Amino acid sequence: MKAIVINQYGAPDVLRYEDIPTPTIKPDQVLVKIHASSINPVDWKIRQGLLQPLSGYNFPKVLGCDLSGEVVEVGEKATSWRVGDQVYTFVNPLFGGAYAEYVAVNATNLTYKPQNMTYSEAAGVPVAGLTALQGLLDLGQLRPGQRVLINGASGGVGTFAVQIAAVMNAEVTGVCGTANVEIVKRLGAHTVIDYTQEDFTQQQIQYDIIFDAVGKQSFFNCEKVLKPDGIYISTLPTVDNMGATLQTLFFSNQKCKLVLAQPSRRDLDALRDLIATGKVKTIIDRTYSLSDLAEAHTYSEMGRTVGKIVITVNEGLQTINID
């Protein structure tokens, strides 16, 4: 099969489009023919070598975690799946495998693809959508009527967080750059702050939840704009935020929490249900073919992505499925 392989850590030019063996599945796995994947910052951080203590030093490696596709082989213990099932999920970014034509996936970690989405749209959901859902609902315990601020509201995680918070009938404030203000409003934000014109940490308003989808702030910077029992949630485990997480666990009514998306069929099903209503969708900035992945990584690293960057793999089946 074709895959993107790295034989060393480094710049985008270490990504190689090569032939490698198709994975062999275990009894509790299924083999998925990938139709689309997407870029997450963790992918290129691994490629750069920033996570070497976790990602290891064994090469070659196939990166990538998000995927949507169809089941083509079923392990003897994966009895809930059938060949031809259309699915979506993500695999552990540290082990990767989604920048390829096929990947072996644990049967309990995937679920049916949203029927009203193309494979490309569905591939943009898992990591970003689950980060937003699990951050707001599991860590933030978001309730209707609460005041929520999403920092980085036009990015991959941010666009899902704005939509999910709006669906939950929260009072949503999004923070983004000038060019994306209207997009964030259309996604459901009641108020949008242009960070080039205003620093939200200097406001007089206080929030029940501050969701830092881009990890650009810290709990300590946000303390005064959090309500006395407010929760700050970040996607980036900086030294400051890890320290604040421990400190607030014991010594403060305000809390600092870190979100790391976990594969969950229940949560993927919940996202699929929201998508089915038309209230949540994937915002796609650009689409690249698998062979152009280096260009896609280069663009992602600029930090200007609006929504998601999608990678088409086995092309030709990008239609919406209607039963």
- Higher local confidence (pLDDT), 250 or 303: 303
Rounded-to-integer distance, Cα 231 and Cα 136, Å: 10
Rounded-to-integer distance, Cα 230 and Cα 211, Å: 11
Average pLDDT over residues 105-134: 97
Contact 212, 235 (CB under 8 A): yes
Residue 219 has pLDDT above 70, yes or no: yes
Q: What is the pLDDT of residue 249?
A: 86
Q: What is the pLDDT of residue 315?
A: 64
- Phi, psi at residue 249, to the nearest 5°? -60, -35
Q: What is the pLDDT of residues 269-309, one digit of tens each?
A: 999 999 999 999 999 999 999 999 999 999 999 999 999 99
Q: What is the pLDDT of residues 257-273, one digit of tens each?
A: 999 999 999 999 999 99
Q: What is the pLDDT of residue 250?
A: 85
Q: What is the pLDDT of residue 240?
A: 87
Helices 265-276 + 156-167 axis angle, to 10 = 70
Rounded-to-integer distance, Cα 53 and Cα 98, Å: 21
Whole-number percent of the chain with pLDDT over 70: 97
Rounded-to-integer distance, Cα 304 and Cα 23, Å: 34
Short-list 98, 93, 86, CA closest to 36: 98
Residue 321 has pLDDT above 70, yes or no: no
Q: What is the pLDDT of residues 172-189, one digit of tens each?
A: 999 999 999 999 999 999
User: How many alpha carbons fall within 13 Å on the CB side of residue 78?
Assistant: 25
Short-list 108, 115, 133, CA closest to 267: 133
Average pLDDT over residues 237-247: 88
- What domains can you pick out in the chain, each with its CATH number? 2-125+282-312 (3.90.180.10), 127-258 (3.40.50.720)
pLDDT tier for residue 320 given thresholds of 50, 70 and 90: very low
pLDDT tier for residue 319 given thresholds of 50, 70 and 90: very low
pTM of the model: 0.94
pLDDT tier for residue 317 given thresholds of 50, 70 and 90: very low
- Kindly compute the dihedral angle of the four CA atoms of residues 172, 174, 180, 181, in this order, to the nearest 10 degrees: 70
State the chain's mean pLDDT as an integer. Answer: 95
Rounded-to-integer distance, Cα 18 and Cα 36, Å: 17
Query: Who's near 119: CB < 8 A, 6+ residues apart?
Result: 35, 36, 68, 69, 86, 113, 317, 318
**Start-end of H helices in 41-155:** 41-48, 52-55, 119-123, 126-133
Residue 160 has pLDDT above 50, yes or no: yes
